[in-house]
Amino acid sequence: MSFRDVYSNEVLESRRARSQRARFWGKVVSIVLMLTVAVTLRTEPQLRSALVSAAMAGAMQVTGRSVPATSPDFTAASANTPPPASGTRVRDRIKINRPGSGADAAPQQVDMQALARDLQKNMAAFNRNGDW
């Protein structure tokens, strides 16, 4: 065995050891980050709700649907539905309201800059309240 062969074997072994260490510490750091995010979202309900509402608005825009108006009174929405026919089964009478599911709903272009500005504005208001 020549010096060149020994050196190349040592270099390969060193690289293998470094990659194993990097993989290990990468897993440790990812678990710590995941736990940190989970604890933060668990202890900050306003931040969690702001992120959920921003994510839902983004998902609705991406799918081309409009954001539904949230109202605690659902009787107005159910007042427009006709009464079920007497011969229908209970399963057939259940109506699921899906916003923008009509045939006239066209996909819309998502304005990510506006979405980012809205999120930034919500986060700034959240931070101003001193709840951060």
- Closest C-alpha among 30, 34, 67, 35 to residue 52: 67
Based on the domain organization, do 8 and 29 belong to the same domain?
yes
The tally of domains found in the chain comes to 2
100, 65 in Cβ contact below 8 A?
yes
Among 53-67, 97-111, 117-131, the range with the most confident prediction by mean pLDDT is 53-67
Range of the domain at 114: 45-62+108-132
Mean pLDDT of 86-102: 60
Mean pLDDT of 98-113: 63
- One-letter-per-residue 3-state SS of 44-69: CHHHHHHHHHHHHHHHHHHHCCCCCC
Residue 132 is assigned to a structural domain of this protein: yes
- Quick check: is 88 in a domain? no
For the ranges 15-19, 20-24, 36-40, the lowest mean pLDDT is seen at 36-40
Model pLDDT for residues 33-75, shown as the tens digit of each residue: 999 999 998 898 888 888 888 988 888 888 877 655 554 444 4
Nearest-CA neighbor of 41 among 70, 119, 33, 125? Answer: 33
Domain contains 82: no
pTM of the entire structure? 0.40
Task: Give the integer Cα–Cα distance in Å for 41 and 47.
Answer: 7
In a domain, 32, yes or no: yes
